[in-house]
Each structure stands twice: as structure tokens, then as C-alpha cells.
Amino acid sequence: MHPKFLTKLQQHLSKEFVLTDPQKCWPYGTDGTQCFFMPETVVLPKTHDDVVFITRLCNEYEIPLVPRGAGSGAVGGAVPIHGGIVMSMMRMHNIVSIDHENRVMIAEPGITNLAIQIAAKKHNLFWAPDPGSREYCSLGGNLAHNSSGPRAIKYGTVRENVLALKAVTGNGDTIHTGAYTTKNVVGYDLTRLLIGSEGTLATITEATLKLLPLPKKQMTLRALYRSIEGATTAVTQIMGQAELPSALEFMDKTTVDLVRQYGGVDLPQGVEALLLIGIDGNDHSINDVVSIIQEASKTSDLMTIDIAKDEQESQKLWQARRRISPSLRHVAPKKINEDIVVPVSKIPALLKALEKLSKQYGITIVSFGHAGNGNIHVNLMYDPDNKLQAAHVDECLQKVFTIVLNLNGSLSGEHGIGLSKQAFITQEVDEHSLNLMRQIKQVFDPKGILNPGKIFPANSPPL
Ligand SMILES: Cc1cc2nc3c(=O)[nH]c(=O)nc-3n(C[C@H](O)[C@H](O)[C@H](O)COP(=O)(O)OP(=O)(O)OC[C@H]3O[C@@H](n4cnc5c(N)ncnc54)[C@H](O)[C@@H]3O)c2cc1C
């Protein structure tokens, strides 16, 4: 790295926020995937102007610049595969304003999702996106990956819940997208373009979030089924109602067995599939919605439906979902965790095909997730020391993606492409569309310094 470049950085930011010691840089070289690439330098800006300065300098010296939030991403998005600078946004964690009359919050990208929810709750409001990592993941990461959770079924993903953005493009220009209002048709929708762009087009320095009124009451239902078809038919029936649940989570038999055996969750034998259903609303309306959804959950293979009467009982029912991740560790030393999506009516076909694949390759496949969106977390569990499994796991994964695309689905519902899935993107996105995306990248980031080597296949022409 050019010595003048480093001196200029240190003059602007102060040495404390320009890390060059490998020991201090090391934690910024990985993310939720645990792949590792060492950053040459880590910078910690505090203001929008700092981000402009850093970006212009990287642009001048043509040094890779990787924006980073909390590093919990599931696709290697925040790792510096070409070295250069990692720019941690976590010091920019202020709430700029909360306007409860118009239900709008303006916040900086380093704030955690949970801190947004806590601040909004004081005004009886909430922000819809609710990833499982909410306690530590950053708003910037949520925006960059269009991250969501169970509530997306009723309230949408990040794209439906952001009004405007302030960002810095690859050549250091400041842009403002969208508007403060909930309706806006002035030019192209750059807000929705930047959301999900994985730090490759611009660094987001401020977001205007659409908040929603906090429901007064929440209830949880747990339905157990004797067959997968029983549960998936119920999902289609529930999604056909005018009153949507606020969560509709699915667990297959392998997942149910796992949380029973290793998670200590009390579940009867014979359960082939489980649905966890969240319902929210007002005091006067919620019981009606519960009845409607309870009715829609009924299929010939329904075993029982439990309804939590209070918060404590509700937490107990949700335990089954929360115990999945720790229980997975008992299945095999390694997992490939995908977050594919299919149309809701295709979930049964997907699960049947996965069962076949699991038998064919001798690889345990654990499937669970946000059934209401058809967004299923498919986990291929394998032992790298098992020669047969290790030799077949990539082929098995390829088959998973082929099945999903044949069912009119998509490779990723919420994790993004990053590094992990770039080899597969051409199977979903046609050549012309991918070329258009490359050209868009070029316009936002002419020298290709922003998070290089992500999204586009590794053998793409250089950007
Ligand atoms: C236990 C666990 C549970 C999870 N559950 C969910 C879930 O339910 N739903 C879900 O969707 N995801 C989930 N995730 C994945 C992950 O938490 C999300 O993708 C999250 O939004 C990433 O946020 P982060 O701050 O950690 O981002 P990072 O991992 O730091 O970065 C992710 C991407 O965002 C870019 N980026 C970060 N900040 C900015 C910025 N200011 N401007 C531009 N680009 C930026 C980075 O370059 C990178 O490409 C989970 C992860 C874990 C470990």
C-alpha cells in the first residue's frame, strides 16, 4: 500500500481509527461464513464526510474498499478477497431523528437492528425487518443484503420498508435516493437498487426507515402434522386468507427430531412437520384472526394445535425454532446453509425432491424456514472426513439449485450472493440482465474499487 495513502488516511481520521496491526485487522477478515481474507488496513469512519474522504482516496490510489457492518453475513460479503481497506461502519451508529407523527426514523448504518426496534418501541412503533441476528447485525448489512425474518410474510422485506438513502458512490460522490414520503415517483428507484447491492455500488451512510404501528397484541400457534403434505397444504390454506399471520415458520421431520433430541424441546413422536404461526393485531380483532388461521391450519394430517395464552407460553413454543442452530452442530461437523425460495405452492415438491437427494447422496438435509414466503433454509450437513460425502456435497448442492430454479424459485431469499453463490448466479440471471448489472456497477464505481470480486462470477470480465 502506498505510504502517502496511509499518511493521508491517518491525517484525516487519526491513527486510532486506522488499523494496520495484523492482530487488530484480523477480526475484520471474516464473517458468518468463517472464510478469511486478511485486510491490509481497517478504517473506522465516524461521519459521512469521513466516508467521502476515504472513498475518494481509495479511488485515487485504486485500492479495494469493502464496507462492513457487524460481519454476520452468510455469504462472505464483507470479506476483503482482494485485500485493501475494510471500512467498518460500526462507529456511525446514531439515530438522526424519529418522527412519530409520520412514522419515520433516520438512522446511520452502524446501528444494530435491535437498537432500531428499541428506539422505535418508545413511540409504539417498529421497523419490520427482523433477522435472527438482530441483536448484533447492523442496519447497513440489513440494507446491503435486503435481510429479513419471519415478519416479512406480513410486512415485507427491507425493500418495502425504506423510504430514502444517503450514500457515497465508488468515486466519492454523495447521492440521495428516494424521498421522505411514502409515495414518490421522481426518476428511477435507486433506493431499491442500492438495497441488496451488497456494498458493490455505494456505501450507505444514512437511511430513512418507514416505521409501522406496534401491534397491541401478539399470539402464537404451534401446529404439528403427521405428514409434510399436511403441513404444506396448511401453509397454502393460511396464505390464501385475507388476514395474514405475522410469522409462518416451517420445520421438517429432521429438524423436529433434532430439537427434540438435542434442544430439549418437548415434542411428541410421529411428528413429520411443524408450523409455528405468529399472529398480531388489536385487542378486539386478534381472536377473530386466530380463529380464521386456526381453521386454515386444519388438514387431515393435523395432530394438534397449541395456542399460547401468554408471553411465557409463546416463548416456550418459539423455543423449537431457536434451538435449531445449536442442535445442528450434533449432525455433522460442516454445513452448507442455503436460503433458497420457491413459490409457496411448490414447497411440497421441493421437500420431496430434497428427501430424494438426501437418500441418493447419503447427506443429511435439514430444512426449515419462512414457509409463508417459500423461503426455506436448506442445510446440507456433511463430514469432510467422510470421503463419499465430501466428494458429493458440491454435486448435491448444484442439484438443490437446479430443483429450485425448475420450480420457478430463486437462489437466495435473504442472504444474498456475495462470494458463496457467485458461481451459480448465471443459472438464474440471464446474460443480458447480468451485463446490464455489470454496466450499472461501472457507472456507480468506475474503477471497480467497491467490494470487488462479489456477486459477479469469478471469471467475469474485470470491472
Ligand atoms: C445467527 C445468525 C442468524 C441470522 N439470521 C438471519 C435472518 O433471519 N435473516 C437474514 O436475512 N439474515 C440472517 N443472518 C445473516 C446476517 O445477519 C444478515 O445478512 C445481516 O443483515 C448482515 O449484517 P451485518 O451488519 O453483519 O453485515 P456484514 O456481514 O458486515 O456485511 C454484509 C454485507 O453488507 C455490506 N455492507 C455493510 N454495511 C454497508 C453499508 N453501510 N453500505 C453498503 N454496504 C454495506 C458488506 O459489504 C457486505 O457485503 C443471520 C446470521 C447469523 C450469524
* 250 closest CA partner among 233, 268, 270: 233
Beta-carbon contacts of 253 under 8 Å, excluding residues fewer than 6 positions away, are 228, 271, 272, 273
Q: Which residue has the cell 422505535?
A: 120
* 246 closest CA partner among 224, 290, 275, 277: 277
pLDDT digits (tens, 9 = 90+) for 431-443: 999 999 999 999 9
pLDDT digits (tens, 9 = 90+) for 363-378: 999 999 999 999 999 9
- Tell me if 3-88 shares its fold with 331-445: no
Beta-carbon contacts of 279 under 8 Å, excluding residues fewer than 6 positions away, are 218, 219, 220, 221, 245, 246, 286, 289, 290, 293
CATH 3.10.520.10 fits 3-88, yes or no: no
The pLDDT of residue 183 = 96
The pLDDT of residue 228 = 93
Helix ranges (DSSP H) in 84-204: 113-121, 139-145, 152-155, 190-194
Q: Which CATH architecture has domain 217-325?
A: 2-Layer Sandwich (3.30)
Atom 39 (ligand 1): residue with closest C-alpha?
A: 140
Atom 5 (ligand 1): residue with closest C-alpha?
A: 132
Atom 45 (ligand 1): residue with closest C-alpha?
A: 199
Task: Please tell me the distance between residue 62's alpha carbon and the centre of ligand 1 in angstroms.
Answer: 26
CATH 1.20.120.1200 fits 331-445, yes or no: no
Residue 3 has pLDDT above 90, yes or no: no
Please compute the mean of the pLDDT values over residues 140-145 and round it to a whole number.
98
Q: What is the mean pLDDT of the chain?
A: 95
Atom 15 (ligand 1): residue with closest C-alpha?
A: 73
Number of alpha carbons in the 13 Å side-chain half-sphere of residue 349: 14
Residue 83 has pLDDT above 50, yes or no: yes
Cβ–ligand 1 contact at 379 (below 6 Å) = no
Concatenating the DSSP letter of every residue in 306-361 gives: EE--SHHHHHHHHHHHHTHHHHHTTT-SEEEEEEEE--GGGHHHHHHHHHHHHHHH
Cβ–ligand 1 contact at 145 (below 6 Å) = yes
Cβ–ligand 1 contact at 195 (below 6 Å) = no
pLDDT digits (tens, 9 = 90+) for 331-349: 999 999 999 999 999 999 9
The pLDDT of residue 459 = 66
The pLDDT of residue 214 = 96
The pLDDT of residue 309 = 80
Please compute the mean of the pLDDT values over residues 377-390 and round it to a whole number.
94
Residue 462 has pLDDT above 70, yes or no: no
Cβ–ligand 1 contact at 31 (below 6 Å) = yes
Task: Please tell me the distance between residue 228's alpha carbon and the centre of ligand 1 in angstroms.
Answer: 31
Residue 314 has pLDDT above 60, yes or no: yes
Cβ–ligand 1 contact at 140 (below 6 Å) = yes
Q: What are the residues facing 125 on neighbouring strands? A: 213
The pLDDT of residue 69 = 98
Q: What is the 3-state secondary structure (H, E, C) of 368-391?
A: EEEHHHCEEEEEEEECCCCHHHHH
Q: Note the pTM of the prediction, 2 decimals.
A: 0.96
Q: What are the residues facing 138 on neighbouring strands? A: 112
Number of continuous H segments (helices) and E segments (strands) in the chain: 16, 18
Q: Which CATH architecture has domain 98-213?
A: 2-Layer Sandwich (3.30)
Q: What are the residues facing 334 on neighbouring strands? A: 382
Residue 463 has pLDDT above 50, yes or no: no
Measured between its terminal Cα atoms, the distance across the chain in Å is 21
Please compute the mean of the pLDDT values over residues 271-296 and round it to a whole number.
95
The pLDDT confidence band at residue 391, using thresholds 50, 70 and 90, is very high
d(CA 429, CA 457): 11
pLDDT digits (tens, 9 = 90+) for 87-132: 999 999 999 999 999 999 999 999 999 999 999 999 999 999 999 9
**Percent of the chain at pLDDT above 70?**
99
Residue 400 has pLDDT above 50, yes or no: yes
What are the residue ranges spanned by the domains of the chain? Answer: 3-88, 98-213, 217-325, 331-445
d(CA 187, CA 442): 20
pLDDT digits (tens, 9 = 90+) for 168-185: 999 999 999 999 999 999
The pLDDT of residue 311 = 87
Other C-beta atoms within 10 Å of 66: how many? 30
**Percent of the chain at pLDDT above 90?**
94
pLDDT digits (tens, 9 = 90+) for 409-459: 999 999 999 999 999 999 999 999 999 999 999 999 999 999 999 999 986
Atom 27 (ligand 1): residue with closest C-alpha?
A: 141
